[in-house]
Structure 1
Amino acid sequence: MNEQQTQFILAFLAYAAQRDLSPAKLCRLSDVDLETLTTGAPVEMSPKQFNDLWLNACHLSGDPLFGLHLGESLQLAALGVVGEIVKSSTTVGQAVEHAVALTPLITDLFGMTVWHDEHTFTLRILPNDGHRAASPFAFGQMVCFFLVFAVHELDGLVLARIRPQHVAMPFTPEMAPELERVLRCIPSHSESDYAITFDNHFWDLPILTANYALQKSLLQKVAMAVDTVTTGNLVVADTSKPAGDSWQRKVQQYLMKNAYLGIVSLEEMAANFNISPRSLQRRLKDEHISYQELADDVRKSLALHYLETGEYYIKEVSYILGYNEISAFTRAFKRWTGKTPAGYRRNE
């Protein structure tokens, strides 16, 4: 495997740990050498091993859409290849074209093409039939991952929640509601087409390179806040400790890693962990805390972090944390610290 493929597997295992799965068990069941992976030494993985990783992750989590939820949760900054895309692009269109060209660095299960006209642009997955036959289950999961990651990549490039116009893919009826939630579009069933279409308005928009730096800053914040080890640009949960030792810790980590577009709702958080909102509330209540308290605590922690770096205007910090009005952010910050954001920064 090349460096990008190794980083992807590490991101996969980090997310599995966040979902309360043991990376060590996943690798053992799939005949994958976890120690070699985490030390950065060269490692080879057969199509069967890769397929078995996905099979075991879906089975142990009880989540048939594990790849979809991985794509939803994964930050742009977690994959080193995205940094190269950002550094070599000035517009969304350029970034999309570069991402398509770099797809073979991540997977050999399929390639991607991009086509656009005056109204739309479409990303289409082109299966590599030989490799797909060797890893059929992994293929379906990777398609889900790439489709939702494309949506989140565009989110990160322009700092907005983008809705596709059309999504085509194979799926079963029971999957439709969750696909619609994550992809923000009612999916169209197709046995052979794998594609996602966006409004061409986004094609020429300049990308916000500062947002990539923001995501890296968030990863650094997470690394300071929880017990982790770092491999390259990717923060990986410490596999020497029990995976997900508390729901409070898992929710806090997810909130911080994905806070560059605001704090996610309870419903979105629960869906990513494949449980109901009521179940998540109950598990947090058992740990004597509420989701709202955790969200508020993460907002406070990130607000202090952003202001202390001195790299962001107060208005930017307010927007990043999901406040529509700077006055609302100022009131919340004063409640947390007894000071206004400007007063806190002056005293630093």
Structure 2
Amino acid sequence: MQDYQKRLALNLLAYAVQRNVDLAQLCRLSGVELTELKSESSPGLTTQQINALWANATELSSDPLFGLHFGESLQVAALGVVGELIRHSRTIGEAITHAAAFAHLITDVLTMEVNRTGQSFKIQFVPSMASQEGSSLVFRQLMDFFMAFTLHEVDGLILQKIQPTAVMLPVEQVNLPEYERVLRCSTIQNATDYLLEFDSRYWDEPILTADYDLQAVLLRKVSVLDEAYSNAKPLSERITNFLLANAYLGVPTLDTIAANLNVSSRSLQRKLQEEGVTYQQLTDSIRKSLALHYLQAGQYPVKEVSYILGYNELSAFNRAFRRWTGTTPVSYQKGYYLTR
């Protein structure tokens, strides 16, 4: 059986590298051998090692909300067989029910309880007894991670950003705006419980077949755990890797990327300018590659491709595509299949 905790740890390391954390230092401080961690035959991590990874990643990234941001960025495919089961469910309700049943394989810090009423359904993250004996910092990072991950992975299953009707968790006033952004709720309740509540209409929402094959290709291109990444990479390269790894869910805004990297939008723009590139140029390159892929696949109408890439108006997508290729999406798609 897969070691899901080890798989999650590898993805934590990959995300920490994207945050410009030195991989070798993080592993050394946490008592983790990367070569052993990547080996399928190696034993799983101890609770002490897992806790150390979370604590050191939080400190080295200088991001007190590391878990929240990691959960926002992680793909459901990163959870292996569990992720496959979730994304091959028929409906959102079924996927969430499966996720709750398998949560214990990923962490012993919490369990997930799903309750449905006539008007809504609630996902409650219940701390386990084991979590009360460990570090409060690690516990909070993990709770933040699972709340953000659960919400944002629903996006990839139905290709739309849903908003909770209610969110409950302990939150400090200084961090409230960032929790409101990531969890998409402007009325977060400061409480001892950890809970997400959604309108019941989403329960039976059918899961779409997103292009996970494309995601797998993009993730192989990124190769964020390559030894070369133990040294700091240019910001533009790290952002490009982040965009590639998450592109199957669409292209995030500059503000979203800046918040995820724990810097201001203005600071991010300035650092990119120093490297001779703009965020618009980076996203244009990603959008162009994705547009060509989707149009060549022939499985999506042009209007749907436009939506997936984040364009509110089809006319805006047409203008962008003409700028990239000199032709319209419809003409490109027709010409592509005529030459095959």
Question: 2:84 aligns to what?
Answer: 83
Alpha-carbon distance in structure 1 between the residues aligned to 2:43 and 2:204:
39
Alpha-carbon distance in structure 1 between the residues aligned to 2:38 and 2:218:
21
Q: Aligned AA for 1:187?
A: I
Matched-pair contact (CA < 8 Å) for 1:247–1:283: yes
Give SS of 1:121's match.
strand
Query: Which runs of structure 1 show a deviation greater than 4 angstroms over 4 or more consecutive aligned residues?
Result: none
CA gap of 1:200–1:222, structure 2 versus 1, over 3 A, is: same
TM-score (ref. length: structure 2): 0.92
Cα distance per residue 1:194-239 (max 9 Å; x no partner): 111111110111111x12xx14413413433x4x2xxxxxxx4313
Cα distance per residue 1:80-111 (max 9 Å; x no partner): 21211222x21111111111001011101111
Correspondence 1:17 to 2:5: no
Question: 2:314 aligns to what?
Answer: 326
Which of 233, 248, 252 is the matching residue for 2:236? 248
Question: 2:73 aligns to what?
Answer: 73
Matched-pair contact (CA < 8 Å) for 1:51–1:136: no
Alpha-carbon distance in structure 2 between the residues aligned to 1:325 and 1:130:
50
Correspondence 1:107 to 2:107: yes
Alpha-carbon distance in structure 2 between the residues aligned to 1:127 and 1:259:
32
Alpha-carbon distance in structure 2 between the residues aligned to 1:241 and 1:252:
14
Correspondence 1:58 to 2:58: yes
Give unmatched runs, 5+ long, in structure 1. Answer: 229-235
Higher RCO (CA-CA < 8 Å; seq separation 6+): 1
Question: 1:128 aligns to what?
Answer: 128
Which residues in structure 2 correspond to 1:94-173 (within 5 Å)?
94-173=94-173
Alpha-carbon distance in structure 2 between the residues aligned to 1:207 and 1:329:
25
Give unmatched runs, 5+ long, in structure 2. Answer: none
Correspondence 1:312 to 2:309: no
Question: 1:231 aligns to what?
Answer: none
Alpha-carbon distance in structure 1 between the residues aligned to 2:330 and 2:231:
39
Structure 1 position 342, deviation (Å): 2.9
**Farther-moved stretch of structure 1 (143-152 vs 314-323):** 314-323
Structure 1 position 2, deviation (Å): 4.4
Matched-pair contact (CA < 8 Å) for 1:71–1:149: yes
Give SS of 1:252's match.
helix
Q: CA RMSD in A?
A: 1.8
Alpha-carbon distance in structure 1 between the residues aligned to 2:144 and 2:159:
22
Cα distance per residue 1:293-313 (max 9 Å; x no partner): 111121112112222333333
Structure 1 position 241, deviation (Å): 3.3
CA gap of 1:105–1:328, structure 2 versus 1, over 3 A, is: same
Q: Aligned AA for 2:315?
A: S
Q: Aligned AA for 2:55?
A: L
Structure 1 position 166, deviation (Å): 1.2
Structure 1 position 141, deviation (Å): 0.8
Matched-pair contact (CA < 8 Å) for 1:256–1:298: yes
Give SS of 2:227's match.
coil
Question: 2:220 aligns to what?
Answer: 223
Matched-pair contact (CA < 8 Å) for 2:3–2:44: no
Matched-pair contact (CA < 8 Å) for 1:166–1:197: yes
Matched-pair contact (CA < 8 Å) for 1:30–1:52: yes
Aligned residues: 334
Q: Aligned AA for 2:218?
A: K
Give SS of 1:301's match.
helix
